[in-house]
């Protein structure tokens, strides 16, 4: 053994480098001999005494023990077939890292023209996304998909509210008429769950007549007319739209500095028509937001991005109503919508394919999201039809009962892996298809796992409790909840989403079969706070995997299957958890 060690020491540097390269996958006899000359091989790195292993080389060395247990996606999912796995069945192995979590870049894209700064999309559900949620999503760098359980013209207006939104400058503030009663205003505030009680007063033509403040919007004054309790126009200090338009926030900041005690800046045109409003609290919040690292998602004209779901409108004979679909899509495009989503429970169908082709032929540059599917064939099919991004998931949502009712659906992580193979097939045809994980996500760790196989995630339940979600707030035993229902629930289908599940809400001869439930979500605060927590978790996961970007996350991901005991170990256990959440 000593003679062999002496021979190795006399080898040239190039020969030693060759031996070190060979040691990437197995320890050679010469390496063992050199190691045993001083200390056991397990305690000694494989290294040439005349050169150092730099960090990049260290990363390239694959430990045989690690690779035997922690596998890349292809090896892992093939080894576990035919068992289908979801998020809690799997854990990710940590990797060598040179980044801090805060430096992880979450930017992604849904097409060549639509880029997001965070990979999160709010679901096109009628208890999750309307204009308020879509605005919050875009301001945080994501995308909101406005649902279609509303008249087509109203959906167009919801898109317009997002596209015309200037952060802090309310171009269409909610107003009240002078002949209304305070009781009418109180009822409106309760019905719409407004968090404010100060309203501009205008006539039918939009002429500013005054301002009614929150200190008079009380039960004791409910029989009085708004005209009797408002501050009249002559007593208000206003700004002209021409002076404000170039930079509304800077103009408002100057206004509030010059007019101490005033908290609303009303903006009018030369004729006195109300053109907008800025509040002092918004200005202060915007000033603070300029220091954040997250940037809003905007289009090339600096407008917030927004998407809208399309309903597969059909004629009485079951054929697609092409004229109505194209007319509605054209109205959305006229408002500069950034993406449309053809959303159905079963996307691998001739009807969905026809609708995607119809929209693609009419609007070649429009980003189209289509789904839902759980197969490589479904992804390849929708890609051939013209979709840019494809939603993956059938039945994983917390309020979805498709798997129980219809007996179909694939656990989400396996579905994502199989669907990703369809995206690879499309890539061979020079089609850059994005994969979106839709459903089953209950925590930030699930998002990290999903992003090892997908380009973005869609959230429903995690956002349904936010104040920006359109569901009604109700109090039960001192706690506040919001309505949350699946688009396959009876109530949602009767409101318009029946076509999503292959039913006709106007068909009186057959009963709608629900594939979702109605439920409650505890109010979770503002979307900003919820997204901040989720983003922090995603960045933490990327830091553990040494991934600065999402493509690096996908490349670095190594999977391990977890036992039921391992799942229990992963969560807080054997303690009494203390909640510090504000009530």
Which architecture does CATH list for 103-148+298-570? Answer: Alpha-Beta Barrel (3.20)
Give the integer Cα–Cα distance in Å for 296 and 141. Answer: 4
**Would you name the residues annotated as active-site residues?**
400, 500
Structure tokens at 442: 């209950």
Distances (CA, A) of 4 to 29, 41, 348, 377: 9, 15, 65, 58
With 0.85 as the threshold, say if the pTM is over it. no
Helix, coil or strand: residue 415: helix
Helix, coil or strand: residue 577: coil
Residue with tokens 């292809």: 74
Residues forming CATH 3.20.20.70 domain(s) in the chain? 103-148+298-570
Query: Is the distance from CB of 393 to CB of 415 less than 8 angstroms?
Result: yes
Residues forming CATH 3.10.580.10 domain(s) in the chain? 169-289
Q: What is the pLDDT along the chain (583 residues), one digit of tens a residue?
A: 444 344 433 344 344 444 444 444 443 444 444 444 444 443 444 444 444 444 444 454 468 888 889 999 999 999 999 999 999 999 999 999 999 999 999 999 999 999 999 999 999 998 999 999 999 999 999 999 999 999 999 999 999 999 988 767 777 788 999 999 999 999 988 877 677 889 999 999 999 999 999 999 999 999 999 999 999 999 999 999 999 888 888 899 899 999 999 999 999 999 999 999 998 888 887 776 665 657 889 998 878 999 999 988 888 888 999 999 999 999 999 999 999 999 898 999 999 999 999 999 999 999 999 989 999 999 999 999 999 999 999 988 877 877 778 888 899 999 999 999 999 989 988 899 999 999 999 999 999 999 999 999 999 999 999 989 997 778 888 888 877 776 655 665 555 544 544 445 455 445 456 566 577 778 888 999 999 999 999 999 999 999 999 999 999 999 999 999 888 888 887 787 776 555 4
Give the integer Cα–Cα distance in Å for 95 and 98. Answer: 10
What is the H or E stretch that residue 371 is in?
A: strand 367-373
Taking the CA atoms of 532, 535, 539 and 545 in sequence, report the sign of the dihedral they define. positive
Those residues with Cβ within 8 angstroms of residue 293's Cβ, 6 or more apart along the chain or in another chain: 102
What is the H or E stretch that residue 74 is in?
A: helix 73-80
Structure tokens at 321: 């109503």
CATH 3.10.580.10 fits 169-289, yes or no: yes
């Amino acid at each position: 053994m000593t003679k062999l060690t002496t021979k190795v020491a006399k080898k040239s540097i190039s020969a030693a480098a060759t031996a070190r390269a060979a040691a990437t996958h197995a320890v050679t006899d010469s390496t063992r001999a050199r190691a045993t000359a001083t200390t056991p091989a397990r305690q000694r790195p494989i290294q040439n005494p005349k050169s150092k292993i730099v960090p990049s080389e260290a990363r390239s060395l694959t430990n045989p023990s690690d690779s035997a247990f922690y596998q890349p996606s292809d090896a892992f999912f093939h080894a576990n077939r035919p068992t289908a796995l979801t998020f809690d069945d799997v854990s990710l192995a940590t990797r060598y890292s040179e980044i801090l979590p805060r430096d992880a870049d979450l930017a992604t894209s849904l097409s060549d023209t639509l880029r997001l700064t965070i990979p999160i999309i709010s679901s096109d559900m009628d208890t999750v996304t309307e204009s308020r949620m879509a605005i919050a999503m875009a301001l945080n760098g994501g995308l909101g998909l406005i649902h279609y359980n509303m008249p087509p013209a109203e959906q167009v207006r919801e898109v317009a509210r997002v596209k015309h939104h200037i952060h802090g400058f309310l171009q269409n503030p909610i107003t009240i008429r002078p002949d209304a009663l305070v009781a009418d205003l109180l009822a409106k505030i309760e019905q719409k769950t407004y968090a404010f009680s100060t309203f501009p007063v205008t006539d039918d033509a939009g002429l500013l007549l005054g301002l009614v403040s929150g200190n008079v919007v009380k039960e004791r004054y409910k029989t009085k007319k708004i005209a009797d309790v408002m501050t009249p126009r002559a007593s208000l200090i206003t700004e002209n739209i021409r002076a404000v338009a170039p930079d509304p926030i800077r103009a408002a900041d100057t206004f509030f500095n010059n007019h101490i005690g005033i908290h609303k800046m009303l903006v009018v045109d030369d004729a006195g028509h109300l053109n907008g409003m800025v509040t002092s609290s918004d200005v202060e919040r915007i000033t603070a937001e300029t220091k954040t690292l997250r940037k809003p998602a905007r289009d090339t004209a600096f407008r917030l991005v927004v998407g809208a779901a399309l309903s597969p409108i059909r004629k009485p004979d079951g054929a697609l109503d092409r004229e109505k679909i194209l007319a509605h899509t054209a109205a959305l495009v006229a408002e500069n919508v950034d993406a449309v989503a053809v959303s159905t429970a079963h996307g691998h169908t001739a009807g969905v394919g026809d609708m995607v082709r119809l929209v693609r032929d009419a609007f070649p540059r429009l980003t189209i999201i289509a789904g839902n599917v759980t197969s490589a064939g479904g992804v390849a099919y929708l890609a051939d039809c013209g979709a840019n991004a494809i939603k993956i998931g059938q039945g994983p949502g917390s309020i979805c009962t498709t798997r129980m009712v219809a007996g179909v659906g694939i656990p989400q992580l396996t579905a994502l892996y199989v669907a990703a193979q369809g995206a690879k097939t499309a890539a061979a045809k020079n089609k850059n298809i994005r994969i979106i994980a839709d459903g089953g996500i209950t925590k930030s760790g699930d998002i990290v796992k999903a992003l090892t196989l997908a380009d973005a995630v869609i959230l429903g339940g995690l956002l349904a409790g936010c104040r920006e979600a359109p569901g009604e707030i109700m109090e039960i035993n001192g706690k506040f909840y919001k309505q949350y229902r699946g688009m396959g629930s009876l109530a949602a289908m009767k409101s318009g989403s029946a076509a999503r599940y292959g039913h006709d809400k106007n068909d009186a001869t057959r009963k709608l079969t629900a594939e979702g439930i109605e439920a409650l979500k505890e109010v979770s605060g503002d979307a900003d706070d919820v997204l901040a927590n989720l983003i922090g978790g995603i960045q933490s996961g990327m830091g553990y995997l040494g991934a600065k970007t999402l493509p690096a996350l996908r490349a670095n991901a190594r999977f391990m299957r977890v036992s039921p005991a391992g799942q229990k170990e992963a969560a807080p256990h054997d303690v009494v958890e203390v909640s510090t959440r504000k009530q």
